[in-house]
């Protein structure tokens, strides 16, 4: 019976993920082993649970009925783990978390490392990407999002703000007159970040504001790429402060318009209000928020 319960859990994972390959990736097994497990379950039950084609899978009528029971079993198991986690001094379980790739060397990533170090019974599967990820469709327990919150049905907690700086490659800056006002940046070459507005808003020393569009010479979808191409002297761009400081310290980048400030980006932890791992999710978010609030380096 225990082995068949495991088979049921793998079958439910296949349905949730939409394919054997995706389920195998989520579980950490070979796709062939996942397929064999579902076939063994079908043989034991004497029914076909899934229609298989080269492109997708679909539930049979029997599979639809059985999946409801398998999903209910998993929900009960998750609820039991949640209740024990709430009582236990040492939390146990697994979480899937996404954070922006550009924060992989930030204090946030250090906070995640500290959480893993302090809770050896918790396994974290961490996805680093600057692309927007959907909590439910992509199967995450917690997303860390920078600068955007667009789903009021989710739980959220602000973790902090990211200061930003306008920079350009040292060689590129040497070829142009130094700007004293944001409007002078309109005819510069710009490196554009695809996930942000085309306009950049600056606040001056006297509280005045200025918006700059600039000419996008190159558009990319990761902050790390922005940093790299700025260091290659292809134009001006806006970087998180920790990356801008690194480029300046290494002699690759120059800070522009230091008297003008960019609005910081808030970053938030977001999770479903019906998370299956509610207590573990909340423990993770609370730890990260408290660790950042305490001002750890």
224-250 per-position pLDDT tens digit: 999 999 999 999 999 999 899 999 999
- What pLDDT, on a 0 to 100 scale, did the predictor assign at position 146? 86
Inform me whether the pLDDT recorded for 149 exceeds 80. no
Rounded-to-integer distance, Cα 182 and Cα 176, Å: 14
Alpha carbon 273 to its chain centroid, in Å, reads 18
Which residue, chain included where needed, has tokens 């999002």? 145
- What pLDDT, on a 0 to 100 scale, did the predictor assign at position 183? 92
Rounded-to-integer distance, Cα 270 and Cα 285, Å: 9
CATH code for the domain defined by 94-161+267-293: 3.40.190.10
Inform me whether the pLDDT recorded for 156 exceeds 90. no
Parts of the chain belonging to CATH 1.10.10.10: 2-86
Which residues, at least 6 apart from 166, have a Cβ–Cβ distance to it below 8 Å? 185, 200, 202, 236, 237, 238, 255, 256, 257, 260, 262
Parts of the chain belonging to CATH 3.40.190.290: 164-263
Rounded-to-integer distance, Cα 108 and Cα 117, Å: 14
- What pLDDT, on a 0 to 100 scale, did the predictor assign at position 250? 96
In what helix (H) or strand (E) does residue 15 lie, and over which residues does it extend?
A: helix 2-17
Domain 2-86 has what CATH class?
A: mainly alpha
Q: Quick check: 132 and 195 in contact, CB under 8 A?
A: yes
At 83, the pLDDT band (50, 70, 90 cuts) reads low
Rounded-to-integer distance, Cα 182 and Cα 156, Å: 34
Task: Judge: domain 164-263, CATH 3.40.190.10.
Answer: no
Q: Quick check: 31 and 24 in contact, CB under 8 A?
A: yes
Assigned token pair, 110:
């250090």
Rounded-to-integer distance, Cα 84 and Cα 148, Å: 34
Q: Quick check: 181 and 136 in contact, CB under 8 A?
A: no
Inform me whether the pLDDT recorded for 87 exceeds 60. no
4-23 per-position pLDDT tens digit: 788 888 888 888 888 888 88
At 152, the pLDDT band (50, 70, 90 cuts) reads low
Which residues, at least 6 apart from 88, have a Cβ–Cβ distance to it below 8 Å? none
The DSSP secondary structure of 54-90, one letter per residue, reads SS-EEE-HHHHHHHHHHHHHHHHHHHHHHHHHHH-SS
The residues facing 232 across adjacent strands are: none
Q: Quick check: 217 and 190 in contact, CB under 8 A?
A: yes
pTM value surpassing 0.85: no
The DSSP symbol for 263 reads P
The residues facing 20 across adjacent strands are: none
Assigned token pair, 188:
């510069």
Inform me whether the pLDDT recorded for 297 exceeds 60. no
197-233 per-position pLDDT tens digit: 788 889 998 889 999 887 888 999 889 999 999 999 9
- What pLDDT, on a 0 to 100 scale, did the predictor assign at position 86? 54
At 276, the pLDDT band (50, 70, 90 cuts) reads low
40-80 per-position pLDDT tens digit: 889 988 999 998 876 778 899 998 998 888 888 877 776 66
- What pLDDT, on a 0 to 100 scale, did the predictor assign at position 207? 86
Which residues, at least 6 apart from 214, have a Cβ–Cβ distance to it below 8 Å? 185, 186, 188, 189, 190, 200, 236
The DSSP symbol for 1 reads -
Which residue, chain included where needed, has tokens 């993920």? 17
Average the pLDDT over 173-184 and give the result. Answer: 93
Inform me whether the pLDDT recorded for 2 exceeds 60. yes
């Amino acid at each position: 019976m225990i082995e068949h319960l495991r088979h049921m859990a793998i079958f439910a994972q296949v349905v949730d993920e939409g394919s054997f390959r995706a389920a195998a990736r989520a579980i950490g097994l070979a796709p062939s082993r996942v397929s064999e497990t579902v076939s063994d379950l079908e043989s034991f039950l004497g029914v076909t649970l899934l229609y298989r084609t080269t492109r997708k899978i679909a539930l049979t009528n029997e599979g639809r009925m059985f999946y409801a029971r398998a999903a209910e079993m998993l929900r009960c198991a998750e609820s039991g783990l949640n209740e024990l986690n709430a009582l236990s001094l040492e939390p146990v379980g697994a979480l899937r978390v996404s954070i922006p790739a550009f924060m992989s060397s930030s204090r946030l990533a250090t906070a995640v490392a500290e959480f893993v170090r302090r809770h050896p019974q918790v396994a974290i599967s961490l996805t680093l990407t600057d692309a927007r990820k959907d909590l439910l469709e992509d199967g995450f327990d917690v997303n860390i999002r920078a600068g955007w919150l667009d789903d009021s049905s989710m739980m959220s907690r602000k973790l902090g703000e990211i200061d930003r700086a306008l920079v350009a490659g040292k060689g590129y800056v040497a070829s142009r007159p130094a700007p004293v006002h944001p409007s002078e940046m309109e005819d510069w070459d710009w490196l554009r970040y695809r996930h942000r507005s085309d306009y950049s808003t600056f606040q001056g020393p006297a509280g005045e504001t200025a918006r700059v569009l600039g000419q996008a010479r190159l558009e990319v979808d990761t902050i790390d790429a922005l940093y790299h191409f700025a260091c290659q002297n292809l134009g001006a761009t806006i970087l998180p402060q920790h990356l801008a400081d690194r480029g300046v310290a290494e002699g690759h980048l120059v800070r522009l318009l230091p008297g003008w400030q960019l609005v910081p980006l808030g970053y938030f932890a977001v999770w479903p209000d019906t998370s299956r791992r509610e207590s573990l999710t909340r423990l993770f978010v609370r730890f990260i928020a408290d660790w950042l609030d305490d001002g750890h380096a």
